[in-house]
Amino acid sequence: MKIYISPMAGYTDYSYRKILKKFNPDLLFTEMVSAHLLNENDEATEKELLKCDDKENEGVQVFGSDKNELIKAFLKLENKGFKNLNLNMGCPQTKIIKNGAGSALLPQTDFVDSLLSELKSKLSDKTKLSIKIRIGYRDFSSPELYIDLANKYNLDFICIHGRTREQLYNGKADWDIVSELSNRPRKIDFIGNGDLFEAKDIVSLIKKSNLDGIMLSRGIIGNPWLISQIRELLNLGEITTFPDFDTVKNAVLEHISYLEENKGKIVAALEINKYLQPYFKRFETEDLKNNLKEIIIERDIDKKIKDIEKL
């Protein structure tokens, strides 16, 4: 069972991927990249989003709506040495949708068919191409069409998130639909995604479906140990990894060191904040909550580190 890490804007940056790589996911993605900005040689895209030490095992997901721009972007990424490239057809965010990208591509089956055809003809056979979709958008409710297209072009995998675009991240991912889709005839890998937070629940979903892998998203934020727990439950029948407080605290301090090294002290002091509560939520007490609130508003990274060490 393959375990992939989803591209997540603002989260799967270079620093957090260094933490995640210690747990050996089968594939992890950078933050998603705009085809337009990549083609414009945008500095943040080039220097931050695409910063990567392992282009063989770290993929890039691209979003856009113009076919020529998308093709140019995919070829540029291939020339940079990336071996795993993914087309974003699942992002539900309004700012992406209004430009015709992300989930807005779902109803455009002819466009996607033509795009995949050209990409497969122009990319090297060694470059792995995949797509990530949702189960529906507006009047489109035929995700099976994309399983057929993925088969037609022999993609590396199709990843299906069990929500429609309209749901955003509300309600629950419909794993009945994901499971049903996973049983369709195919020759390519089928990866399931959506609401994958706890190892026991994840393994239960795996056993009910015909999956080749899963793609972890929000559930992996502040919880890289989830990767180990899933594998243990699948292979051993029980979970043996239960990180204690000091283990989590040390991971946070290591994460901060990567952020400092990559983005400097000022940015590190701000960016670690969104990870702190997810990291420590398993130990949540009123005292810890109050301490974390104080740590989050602290802007001096050295003081912040000392306060974390005292927890």
Query: In the annotation, is 91 catalytic?
Result: yes
- 15 and 86 housed in the same domain: yes
The string of pLDDT tens digits covering residues 7-66 is 999 999 999 999 999 999 999 999 999 999 999 999 999 999 999 999 999 999 999 999
Is there a single domain that holds both residue 6 and residue 105? yes
229/278 same-domain check? no
Do 232 and 253 share a structural domain?
no
Of residues 5, 49, 71, 91, which has the active-site annotation?
Answer: 91
Per-residue pLDDT reduced to its tens digit, 88-123: 999 999 999 999 999 999 999 999 999 999 999 999
Cα–Cα distance measured from residue 196 to residue 291, given in angstroms and rounded to the nearest whole number: 28
Three-class secondary structure of residue 22 per DSSP: coil
Which residues 6+ apart lie within 8 Å of 118 measured at CB? 67, 71
Question: Would strands 128-136 and 84-89 be described as parallel, antiparallel, or unpaired?
Answer: parallel
* HSE-CB of 226 using CA atoms within 13 angstroms: 26
* Domain total in the chain: 2
Last residue of a domain, one of 236, 264, 285: 236
Q: Are residues 122 and 200 in the same domain?
A: yes
Please name the amino acid found at residue 163.
R
Question: Is residue 103 domain-shared with residue 215, that is, in the same domain?
Answer: yes
| 164 strand-pairing partners | 136
| 57 and 40 part of one domain | yes
CATH number at residue 292: 1.10.1200
At a CB cut-off of 8 Å and minimum separation 6, what does 115 contact?
A: 67, 70, 71, 87
Task: For residues 269 and 153, state if they share a domain.
Answer: no
Answer whether 0.85 is exceeded by the pTM: yes
> Could you tell me the CA-to-CA distances from 292 to 16, 120, 221, 265, 277 in Å, in that order?
20, 49, 17, 19, 7
Query: Where residue 180 sits, what CATH number does that domain have?
Result: 3.20.20.70
Whether 81 and 140 map to the same domain: the answer is: yes
Show the domain range for 14: 2-236
The reply to whether 29 and 52 lie within a common domain is yes
Q: Token pair for residue 116?
A: 């995949």
Give binding residues as ranges. 7-9, 61, 132, 161, 217-218
Q: Which residues are annotated as a binding site for FMN?
A: 7-9, 61, 132, 161, 217-218
